[in-house]
Amino acid sequence: MADPLFIDRHGHRTWLKWHRGRRRASDPVFTGARILEAMRLGASVEVDLVVTGDKGMAVLHDLTLDRETTGAGPVAGTSDAAIRQLNLRGNNGEPLPDAVMLLEDLCQLMAGGAVHPDALLQLDYKEDESVLDDRAVAKFVAATGPVASNMVVSSGSAKAIDMLTAALPAMKKGFDATNEARFRAALAAGRLQEYVDEAMAEMPDAALVYLYWEMVTHAADAGFDIVDAFHRHGTRIDAWTIREVTPASVVQVERLLDLKVDQITTDDPEGLYAALET
């Protein structure tokens, strides 16, 4: 089987994003070896970032250490050195030999790892601009600068994205435009174009916009092509997240492909690729 990078349909290429660095559903999240593999292949891959007590950034999803690592307590109350002493936990909660990475550790892996020019690493910042200060931004810039051209930083906070990328012209911007309450109101009122326009007004230079996948299909059910509406603003669309590969989810993904989303976030790129290519 070919590597699970993208699907071509109807003259359009849709990338399969390796959510939290997973190639397949059985993979643990955020392991350096798997992320580096993806980057060498030219894949699209995502990791999450949480600010530490030293204003570094840990490659973790949760604001606390308890579930994902062998540590405990808030990430914001833990030093960089202490975080580096922790190990990741697997899907069953058992400790792994893989250490928890800080952003600079991951960037050093990339810098020495023959990254494919097409590879794109999404840094999904899980907090808002209130947590960022000059020290946090300076550490982010120092870590990512040498590999910024293969990165996109994403958040639901346009201000946070602007703060993090101000000194990194090579880094792409990604905006999570998923606001389900606003979307439902716009859908009910027949004002989905306004929803799109308002999202792009928040981040007009977004290279990628992230939408919960059901928003794409609900809009289509209402006769509105939300993917095309964002495309007309010059941005690409990532539909997130396909958790499992089942007959039902494959049908959903086929519809997303028909609607020409540019990227699909999935916890099982390999399984989804196999299902779509058979």
pLDDT band for 278, please (50, 70, 90 cuts). Answer: confident
Nearest to 237 by CA among 179, 174, 187, 172: 174
- Cα–Cα distance, 13 to 23 (Å, whole number): 19
How do the domains of the chain map onto residue ranges?
A: 6-277
The token pair at 180 is: 């389900």
Nearest to 233 by CA among 265, 198, 187: 198
**Average pLDDT of the segment spanning 1-16:** 95
Percent of the chain with pLDDT over 90: 97
For residue 1, pLDDT beyond 90: no
For residue 134, pLDDT beyond 90: yes
Which CATH number is associated with domain 6-277?
Answer: 3.20.20.190
Nearest to 203 by CA among 169, 173, 170, 240: 173
Mean pLDDT of all residues in the chain?
97
pLDDT band for 113, please (50, 70, 90 cuts). Answer: confident
Render pLDDT for 11-26 as a digit per residue (tens, 0 to 9): 999 999 999 999 999 9
The token pair at 219 is: 């809009």
